[in-house]
Structure 1
Amino acid sequence: MRGEHQEEAVPLTGIGMMTSVGFGAYPACAALRAGIVRMVELDASQKAAGHPDWKPPLVGSPMKGLTDGYFGLGRWTRMAVDALRDLMVNARLSGAELEQSGIFLGLPAGTWSSSPERHQQFATRIAQWLQLPGLQSCIRFYPEGHASALKALQEAVAQIHQGRLTRAVIGGVDSLVDQERLASLLTGGRLKTDENPVGLIPGEASAFFLVESPRHARRRKAEVLAWLEAARIAHEPVSPASKQPCNGLGLGQAVSATLTGLADHGAATGLIICDLNGELYRAEEFSKMAPRSLHRLQQSWRLWHPADCIGDTGAASAAISVCVGARALARGYARTDGVLVCASSDEGLRGSMYLRSARKEAVRS
């Protein structure tokens, strides 16, 4: 099925996640499949700084029981470390093997996440909490929002094809329920409230997935959850802050490039997973992209957006979509052999990639 594009496909052999509906990739994917929602009124410690007199309740999807009592860098480290531990268990990856992998981590744009000094502190903490000192030098950060993991994926796959890496861990971590982020979203009129029914519900999550060279995956007899193909990125000049309608050109370019990069042009795609979050901007963008870029699809397709259950998870959202798609293909409930994943960052980055089922190959072998 991969045909002439076989050289572009890499096996996805493990997933790890921490979300408000499941502490672990497998329970989280099961909960998302079942439509379980964990959205609550945010408590006093999570109210938006600078808005002490805000009367209507702010609703969000924090990871109760995991991030309670953690703030700032400590909160982010807790989320990232627990998701990495989950990945190691699910992928049967030892600490020594993780230290020999490239770690590509997506973060939100702006604030401390774009500071090299803070990157160093974050990497140091992750290595310390995992007790893997060699990991610190393996982590590379991509502070570019929702689609950052897809940009990181494109670069990681390129390094695997060049022989510079045998395996890479790609992921994202973000929290939109901390005070600073809430204040910014509230000031910008982007939160869903009684006065703004088309806004987003803030969430938090971390997610990682493992990709390897085909030879390395065979050598260690890794289970292939899905084949990953044609990761592409583009740029959209119209931002949500501009208050202008988005015509979907940037997202359309990324999606079209992914489908063009497939031997079958994605004709059998039956599922699309994206980061729609309740905001009008994203809905307009997707609706204008679809007829322009998805006309080659030869069957009806379904649309999943995990934010329905866990809120907007920012820079973790693309990695979550990849994990959800891979798990759905591996378990068979995707009801298709092809899944398209796409994401849009507020700052303009657009990303797209394709997951193809490995179940048929498993049956033949």
Structure 2
Amino acid sequence: MPLALTGLGMVSSLGWGVASSCAAIRAGLTRPRPLHDVYVTDQEQLEPVPLLGHPIPELTDGFGPLGRWLQLAQACVADLRETAHLPPTSDVRFWSQTGWLCVLPHLDPARYLEVQDFGPDLMKSSWLERLGQLLGLEWPRKSVHFVHAGHAGTAAALQLAQQLLAARQVERLVVLSLDSYLDETSLEWLLVHRRLKTPDHPAGLMPGESGACLLVELPQAARQRGAPVLATIEAVATGSEAGSRMAGQPSTGEILTRTLEQVLPQTPAGDFVGDLISDLNGEEWRARAWGSVQVRLRNRLGERTRLLLPCTSLGDVGAASGAVGVCMATRAFARKYAMGEQAVIVSSAEHGEVGAIRVRAPGGQA
């Protein structure tokens, strides 16, 4: 079921809004900074050097995981409200009919001390209560859902959005995707699993953080309230690989291939014409899985498919990456630099979940 995308919000290490962030990514900008709380050994110089990452220091400095999520959420929702010209929180009718899908990382106890201390349910409920206070919203708990599927979380949330909107449980939904690899315990967790890019381990990720939100509704509902449609979510698919990075089992890319096949449009020429936005981040396991996908889909992904890698500019932003990809595709349509009328966002999580989203430009052909 197609969904109308009627609002975007984003904050990243390159900008405090979706327009500035996506313009900076388009220009190839990047702003890695030394993380002076974490030092790694440079084997050539035999001395400690600070790890490099992509923080938003003015926004998240000094906060733990929950605080970082709150800061990221406030910033990207503020951008959504401003750019989509949403009514004030005093408009009870509008906001009571707006559901929320909070896309967060897997609540791994090894990564989050808060999960160990309070348990995931209490952790989420207290965080949600504080978020409502900061946003000035009093939402019914039944209108808020949490999704924990790593990089594939946005795809899973959009599938849930299709179900909720089809059932008329709400009139519209905000998909709020947040993650940060830059709190102390997350960095330690990444180091333990040898996932960070360091002088002696170049095949790793550079940690980043971001918040991105998408306002989606049924096309007829968008028309009825006169909301401009920025893009259409044409197709969404998800799956789960038998092997995963966290299980220590290499992924063959088979399920990722099937998932991507489900959203790729059928074209007379065969190959996909448009941007393919991937969450490749420098880790070997992702590269191997993607290499397998390219072999299997060599007739569908050709010269007219342009591969874009947000991690080059932002670092790995985890569960926020799917929504960031949708923002990038939508802004490319608006600014007329997209490769074609459609774009595909493909995601693969360390716990095995995979997802793919196809987005169509306003007025583009399905």
TM-score, normalised relative to structure 1: 0.89
In the TM superposition, residue 359 of structure 1 has moved relative to its aligned partner by: 4.3
Quick one: distance in 1 between partners of 2:201 and 2:266?
44
Equivalent of 1:104, from 94, 98, 101? 101
Q: Which residue number corresponds to residue 197 of structure 1?
A: 202
In the TM superposition, residue 162 of structure 1 has moved relative to its aligned partner by: 2.9
1:215 maps onto 2:217 in alignment: no
Is the CA contact (8 Å cut-off) linking 2:39 and 2:49 kept in structure 1?
A: no
In the TM superposition, residue 309 of structure 1 has moved relative to its aligned partner by: 0.7
Is the CA contact (8 Å cut-off) linking 2:12 and 2:21 kept in structure 1?
A: yes
Equivalent of 2:190, from 162, 168, 185? 185
1:70 maps onto 2:67 in alignment: no
| Structure 1 residue ranges, 4+ long, deviating more than 6 angstroms after superposition | none
Equivalent of 1:55, from 48, 52, 61? 48
Structure 2 letter corresponding to 1:305: L
Quick one: distance in 1 between partners of 2:328 and 2:15?
12
Counterpart of 1:237 in 2: which secondary structure? coil
Counterpart of 1:328 in 2: which secondary structure? helix
Quick one: distance in 2 between partners of 1:163 and 1:105?
19
Equivalent of 2:160, from 155, 161, 165? 155
Considering fraction of residues, name the structure with more helix: 1
Quick one: distance in 2 between partners of 1:183 and 1:360?
45
Structure 1 letter corresponding to 2:97: Q
Is the CA contact (8 Å cut-off) linking 2:103 and 2:319 kept in structure 1?
A: yes
TM alignment of 1:130-141, pairs within 5 A: 130-134=135-139, 137-141=142-146
In the TM superposition, residue 299 of structure 1 has moved relative to its aligned partner by: 5.5
Equivalent of 2:78, from 82, 85, 99? 85
In the TM superposition, residue 163 of structure 1 has moved relative to its aligned partner by: 2.5
Structure 1 letter corresponding to 2:11: M
1:144 maps onto 2:149 in alignment: yes
In the TM superposition, residue 157 of structure 1 has moved relative to its aligned partner by: 1.4
Is the CA contact (8 Å cut-off) linking 2:7 and 2:83 kept in structure 1?
A: yes
Quick one: distance in 2 between partners of 1:213 and 1:115?
32
TM-score, normalised relative to structure 2: 0.89
Is the CA contact (8 Å cut-off) linking 1:268 and 1:337 kept in structure 2?
A: no
Counterpart of 2:59 in 1: which secondary structure? coil
Q: Which residue number corresponds to residue 4 of structure 1?
A: none
Q: Which moved more, 1:166-175 or 1:305-314?
A: 166-175
Equivalent of 2:309, from 288, 305, 312? 305
Quick one: distance in 2 between partners of 1:272 and 1:280?
20
Is the CA contact (8 Å cut-off) linking 1:127 and 1:136 kept in structure 2?
A: no
Quick one: distance in 1 between partners of 2:153 and 2:39?
27
1:180-212 deviations in Å (ceiling 9; x for gaps): 010011111110011001100000111111111
| Superposition CA RMSD, Å | 2.3
Q: Which residue number corresponds to residue 28 of structure 2?
A: 35
Q: Structure 1 residues 138 and 43, CA, compared in 2 at 3 Å: closer, same or farther?
A: farther
Is the CA contact (8 Å cut-off) linking 1:226 and 1:330 kept in structure 2?
A: no
Counterpart of 1:164 in 2: which secondary structure? coil
Q: Which residue number corresponds to residue 322 of structure 1?
A: 326
1:195-241 deviations in Å (ceiling 9; x for gaps): 00110000011111111111111122212111111111111121113
Is the CA contact (8 Å cut-off) linking 2:207 and 2:316 kept in structure 1?
A: yes
In the TM superposition, residue 117 of structure 1 has moved relative to its aligned partner by: 1.1
Counterpart of 2:139 in 1: which secondary structure? helix
Is the CA contact (8 Å cut-off) linking 2:65 and 2:180 kept in structure 1?
A: no
Quick one: distance in 2 between partners of 1:354 and 1:195?
38
1:283 maps onto 2:287 in alignment: yes
Q: Which residue number corresponds to residue 51 of structure 1?
A: none
Quick one: distance in 2 between partners of 1:329 and 1:241?
36
Quick one: distance in 2 between partners of 1:13 and 1:148?
20
- Give the count of matched residue pairs: 347
In the TM superposition, residue 269 of structure 1 has moved relative to its aligned partner by: 2.9
Counterpart of 1:296 in 2: which secondary structure? coil
Structure 2 letter corresponding to 1:253: R
1:33-79 deviations in Å (ceiling 9; x for gaps): 111111111023x669xxxxx92321111102111232232221111
In the TM superposition, residue 244 of structure 1 has moved relative to its aligned partner by: 4.3
Quick one: distance in 1 between partners of 2:8 and 2:315?
20
1:1-23 deviations in Å (ceiling 9; x for gaps): xxxxxxx2221111101100011
Quick one: distance in 2 between partners of 1:9 and 1:102?
18
In the TM superposition, residue 135 of structure 1 has moved relative to its aligned partner by: 6.1
Structure 2 letter corresponding to 1:248: G
In the TM superposition, residue 121 of structure 1 has moved relative to its aligned partner by: 1.0
Structure 2 letter corresponding to 1:334: A
Quick one: distance in 1 between partners of 2:96 and 2:207?
33
Q: Which residue number corresponds to residue 44 of structure 2?
A: none
Q: Structure 1 residues 268 and 348, CA, compared in 2 at 3 Å: closer, same or farther?
A: closer
Quick one: distance in 1 between partners of 2:142 and 2:67?
19
Equivalent of 2:17, from 15, 18, 24? 24
1:87-114 deviations in Å (ceiling 9; x for gaps): 1111122234344211111111123578
Q: Structure 1 residues 115 and 77, CA, compared in 2 at 3 Å: closer, same or farther?
A: same
